[in-house]
Amino acid sequence: MNKLKTILIKGQVIFPGEIIGFSASDREKLKVQLEAYENNEELLLLRFKSDDELERKDSAFTEINGVIAKVESVKTRDNGIIEVAIRALRRAKLKSLDNYAENEYEAEVEEYIQSEEGFDRMLKSLQLTMRGYSDTDARFKNNFLNELLSIDNLPELLDRLRLTLNLDYDKRKSINAAKTPVEESMLLMEIMSEAIDRKEIAEKIKSEVDKDISKNQRDYILREHLKVIQNEMAKNSGYETVSDEYEEKLKKVKLDDEHKEKLKKDISRLNTASNNGAEGNVIRTYLDTVFEMPFGIYSEDNNDIIHAKKILDEDHYGLEKVKDRILEYLSVRILNPTGNSPILCLVGPPGTGKTSIAKSVAKALGRKYVRISLGGVGDEAEIRGHRRTYVGAMPGRIVEAIKNAKVSNPLILLDEIDKSSRDYKGDVSSALLEVLDGEQNKTFRDRYLEIPLDLSKVLFIATANTLDTIPRPLLDRMDIIEISSYTENEKYHIAKKYLAPKEIRENGLKNKVINFSDKAIKKIIHNYTRESGVRNLSRRIGDICRKCARELLEGKKSFKITEKNVRKYLGKEKVRYDEIEKEPQVGMVTGLAWTSVGGDTLSIEVNVMPGKGVLTLTGNMGDVMKESAGIAKSLVRSMAKEYGIEDEFFEKHDIHLHIPEGAVPKDGPSAGVTMTTALISAISEKKVRADVAMTGEITLRGKVLPIGGLKEKLLAARLAGVKRVCVPKENEVDIFELSAEITDGLEIVYVQDIKEVLKVALID
């Protein structure tokens, strides 16, 4: 440490190598500088923290970091002004400051720490950064870079680098506060890196701007070319310009004067908007859509009802009720062509032929067929269209369907209408209300087209798997036709007549190469599929055909598919049918249930044991079925005396009701009768006949209410070997509509009260 006379300066951050000048006409003001010059002494240049005189009251009014300097020259001008030039030599740190006379200071200092640890690594990093920085500053690159790169001493490099960079006051201040050369190097590299980043961002922005300008110029040129091409094509067609072509189309379109006038305005706008690509394209797209619409164009219906019946019988086996209803509808259309068309809705399980029936109706009438899938559609604009104010606006699916059909009276299939959804974009079901209402759809207005469409001549057929998810107002506008499950005999005829030939043809086999025996088809139906429709049956026949196709290429010439070799192609039997008990049991009753794949038997077991009157329910039951169990228990308690059950029995015994196959969810009210019978049997210890099955909803008074899915339930009863079935009296009308194939061999007992059921089921 050594003591140096100190000069305090304002608002400047001085680095080694820089020269600072002082001037005055009074020698007293330059006393310290002149004495240092005469004595060849070094000085300390120290900066005030603040330029405010009032803040310089204590020892902390100066910065800690200063610079050791030496007076380089003294000159006296003609006017008596003395000029002193001082060169900064090296940095120093203030230890203490002594005010030994008025405005004269002496400082004890410690020179800048210059440990060489990390110098080599930092020197290379600094040189690399300088090369990158040179691309941002041409002056630096041309005048200083090579000279700086030749310096291999870090402190010396820093002294030179500071003077070449354009540093503002704050950056000079932060660099001056650095404690070591390594720390100072980090700060300088950070400053240069910021400049590099700024240049890269600026170049990227410029590139994007240039790209946009280039794209706009390119688009403009292409639009002008397109305009010329369109006009030339129009001339080849006998028109002077594109707008002339639209004018000619406007004369031919069958619209009233009001809408023709609006279209005329759009054509006029096309002339003025031709240079503006976006607006011109929107107008052209709209006009193209309008002039492609088949206004006033209708196909002629085939009004031969005999021909229609022949087509339906050829394309579908069974479904007599459905075909009769469609033929009735077609008959009314023939007799009253101007009447409103009812909207048919075909409801049934998957794979029962709903979509193919719609195709057959179109074929029978000779109408164009268009399918619109509504599964998962949640945007109301899909039906009503988008307003033309939106970017990328387009007409709704109804308008698109009519445009594609090229006639105003096609058959439109609204497929999966029960699976349309509702979200923040609107409700598709509500949008369909206008489309499917005969009083409203005469003037259906699409938001994009903005021209009323007459949909009264369009034949709409909807399909659905269930009615539960269709809103009531929409359901009210449709004529429901239910398609129930196929019997095994119906599946056999469908497979033999339609499915097997189709799969043989699609898999590249000829009839003479492969042949399915009747028993083989029946075995596939009974042991390898379990469904309401025939979709899986078609897949299993396809599986056999594919395996035969491979064997054919391996050398085998022909194939005979029999009952015995079905297992060779399809593996182990996939479907197991429940069978009824051989002997009467106590507390075990066979019920009947409807599932998504058809009917099924439902065994209900009841055990009674000493306890405190707790009713336990197991078997994965839904809420409705649990309520039926509670109703059944209350009904049994009310009938206790009649069946010799003690009054205190229910307080001293626990009851456990179980439905096997606990992993399968079960719900619905139709097991009420079965649960009541099982409870009575278990409590009274009376056996239940093994060959009896039952179905029906029960009330607290013991009344048996009607149920649905009767056809499927009776089919399941036959497969399980049931001889007698208890059915609610109110379902008697449904039995008359079933074919003899289903009811033959079954004794059907119609019941109105639980006592009638118990009389049939229990053994005294």
What distance in Å separates the CA atoms of residue 559 and residue 552, rounded to the nearest whole number?
Answer: 9
- Token digits of residue 150: 């030749």
Evaluate whether 401 touches 370 at the Cβ level (below 8 Å). yes
Between the alpha carbon of residue 702 and those of residues 456, 590, 754, the distances in Å are 50, 19, 5
- Segment holding 177, helix H or strand E: none
- Decide if 262 is catalytic: no
What distance in Å separates the CA atoms of residue 404 and residue 389, rounded to the nearest whole number?
Answer: 24
What distance in Å separates the CA atoms of residue 283 and residue 266, rounded to the nearest whole number?
Answer: 7
Size (the chain), residues = 764
Based on DSSP, count helices (H) and strands (E) in the chain, helices before strands. 29, 28
Tell which residue, 481, 466, 475, has the closest CA to residue 418.
466
Tell which residue, 91, 21, 105, 10, has the closest CA to residue 48.
10
Radius of gyration in angstroms for the set of CA atoms belonging to the chain, rounded to a whole number = 48
- Segment holding 446, helix H or strand E: none
Catalytic residue of the set 323, 363, 633, 713: 713
Burial, 722: exposed, middle or buried (Cβ in 10 Å; 0-12, 13-18, 19+)?
buried
Nearby residues of 380 by Cβ (< 8 Å), 6 or more positions away: 425, 426, 427, 428, 430, 431
Evaluate whether 548 touches 504 at the Cβ level (below 8 Å). no
Tell which residue, 281, 552, 518, has the closest CA to residue 391.
281
Residue type, 564: K
- Decide if 713 is catalytic: yes
What distance in Å separates the CA atoms of residue 90 and residue 84, rounded to the nearest whole number?
Answer: 19
What distance in Å separates the CA atoms of residue 48 and residue 758, rounded to the nearest whole number?
Answer: 111
What distance in Å separates the CA atoms of residue 237 and residue 329, rounded to the nearest whole number?
Answer: 46
Catalytic residue of the set 420, 670, 681, 684: 670
3-class DSSP assignment, residue 76 = strand
Residue type, 211: K
Tell which residue, 578, 622, 595, 579, has the closest CA to residue 713.
595
524: left (phi over 0), alpha (psi -120 to 50) or beta: alpha
Between the alpha carbon of residue 510 and those of residues 440, 504, 520, the distances in Å are 52, 6, 18
Q: Please state whether beta strands 598-610 and 588-595 pair in parallel, antiparallel, or not at all (unpaired).
A: antiparallel
Evaluate whether 696 touches 670 at the Cβ level (below 8 Å). yes
Active site residues: 670, 713
